[in-house]
Amino acid sequence: MPYKTTDKKSGDTVYGRKVINSIIVLATKEIAGVASLHGRGFRTEFNGLIVDVDVYIHVIADISCSEVAYRVQENIKRNVESMSAFKIGTINVNILGAVFSNDKIQG
């Protein structure tokens, strides 16, 4: 379902759900320490212009899980809010496993 915003100066902007989802996936993957997204990797819930996000990831074993989770949250918030009219509500980062150098995760 597309989401429409109106600005008096620039007019109407319509965002497809897939655009916001793509921003979330890319923002998650660009964080050092994220090995992969699990399965589909995320869930979003749209409440007007507020987006709640659940992200499911595997992390690299040698890196602090809490640090990776924090950086994922900050990056998703920054990217979504700077690239769209949406605001982030909550971001839950679910770490489902750790990947060692010889392991391969199929996402």
Hey, CA dihedral for 95, 97, 100, 105, is it positive or negative? negative
pLDDT of 7 above 90: no
The parent domain of residue 48 ranges over: 3-99
pLDDT tens digit sequence for 30-78: 999 999 999 889 999 999 889 999 999 999 999 999 999 999 999 999 9
Which conformational region is residue 39 in: left (phi greater than 0), alpha (psi within -120 to 50 degrees), or beta?
Answer: left
Whole-structure pTM value:
0.86
Q: How many domains does the chain have?
A: 1
Determine, yes or no, domain membership for 106.
no
CATH number, residue 45: 3.30.70.1350
Alpha helices in 4-64 (DSSP H): 17-29
Name the residue among 51, 52, 50, 60 with its Cα closest to residue 29.
60
